[in-house]
Structure 1
Amino acid sequence: MAALIALGCLTLPGCVSVQHDIVGQASVVDGDSLEIHGERIRLFGIDAPEARQACTRDGRPWRCGQTAAQRLDALIGGRTVRCEPHEIDLYERVVAICYDGEVDLNGALVAEGLALAYRDFSWRYVADEEAARSAGRGVWADGVQFDPPWEWRRRGRQ
């Protein structure tokens, strides 16, 4: 589908070229990415720790990125997922809000403290992040130290 992007959309940031929902069995790529019918989907408005990113919990290594991916897989539970595309990103991935029934999977990960609101792109999940932080869930739990994923990636490129 992403390969069928209209030429006009290639030059317009945020242009939605997929006009319909993507529905099907999803496989988890990482804590903020899925694949449905061979289509790579980046979850809109959130950023989860990377698979190789290590956090610490009570001074011990904790694979927070792996935990986020495992939780996303558990939330999906083998059920059919529906993703509402918002745009195509620079890597030609569909960026979407994905649902299991009425459950917003993007928001669920942020609310559980396993992803952060990606404020550079949307403020939609900021309240979920603040609630997770206040409740000490996931990366916001006492004794957890982590870098926001965008900072971890930036350091990795240096």
Structure 2
Amino acid sequence: MFRPFLAVLFCLAMPAHAEVAGKVRVIDGDTFAIGETRVRLHGIDTPESTQMCGARGVSPWPCGAWVSDKVRSVYDGADARCAEVDIDRYGRVVAKCFVGGEDVGQHLVAEGLALAYAKYSQDYLTDESSARDAGRGLHGMAFERPARFRAVQRDARAKTAALGQEVPEGCRIKGNISSSGGTMIYHVPGQRDYDATVISEARGERWFCSEDEARKAGWRRARR
């Protein structure tokens, strides 16, 4: 006879999913600030703001900054309503956000500015497939999937940590000194030998945050 009462108590104890509403300030392609709340858009993934993309035979380009600028041009200052789905390990609210009744995540994936983050949601897989078939946004260019970019960064940090080094945040250009002749060459993400290149600070090798910085320090770009 106490079961209905206990059920009510159980429901009251369950945390309610919050709603965040207000004007958007775009942090990067998949992260907004609404007031004091950081919101990570649910079910999508975009290039990191410092990410450079490219492929063999294609010059690296700042895909992360490009996407962030595109998203900012559409949503910065817009009124959004966001329904909380989760809280991530960084303390951000993970949410589905809507502007003018439109699902922001779906719009970004459909326009090729974001990818469906299948690890966490299957909601936008069809939208990504359509954008890819049409060559919209990122799909019309050479780019590295953000998850792959982050994995390479983690691997690079692990390798340099084993050598007692630290990779500067956002600095992924590898300044390598050839063993034959001592030529100073830098490698950017997407080039043939990038992943295989390990930086040895003991030999004078180093990380760079931009190609301009590398050139000014006397390094030249690897040909492949």
Q: What is the TM-score normalised by the length of structure 2?
A: 0.59
Match of 1:85 in 2: 84
| Residues 76-103 of structure 1: per-residue CA shift (max 9 Å, x gap) | 1522111111011111110001111111
Q: Classify 1:28/1:147 alpha carbon distance in 2 versus 1 (closer, same or farther; 3 Å).
A: same
Q: Which runs of 4+ in 1 moved over 4 A?
A: none
Amino acid at match of 1:147: E
Distance 2:15 2:89 in 1: 13
Amino acid at match of 2:153: G
Instruction: Give the C-alpha shift of residue 108 in structure 1.
Output: 1.0
Q: Classify 1:38/1:17 alpha carbon distance in 2 versus 1 (closer, same or farther; 3 Å).
A: farther
- Structure 1: tracts of 5 or more residues without a match: 1-15
Distance 2:61 2:109 in 1: 18
Q: Classify 1:119/1:60 alpha carbon distance in 2 versus 1 (closer, same or farther; 3 Å).
A: same
Q: What is the TM-score normalised by the length of structure 1?
A: 0.82
How many residue pairs are counted as aligned between the two chains?
141
Match of 1:32 in 2: 30
Does the 8 A contact of 1:25 with 1:79 survive in 2? yes
Match of 1:65 in 2: 64
- Structure 2: tracts of 5 or more residues without a match: 1-13, 156-224
- Determine which structure has greater relative contact order: mean sequence separation of CA pairs < 8 Å that are 6+ residues apart, divided by chain length: 1
Q: Identity of counterpart residues, as a percentage?
A: 40
What RMSD in Å do the two structures reach over aligned CA positions? Answer: 1.8
Distance 2:148 2:59 in 1: 21
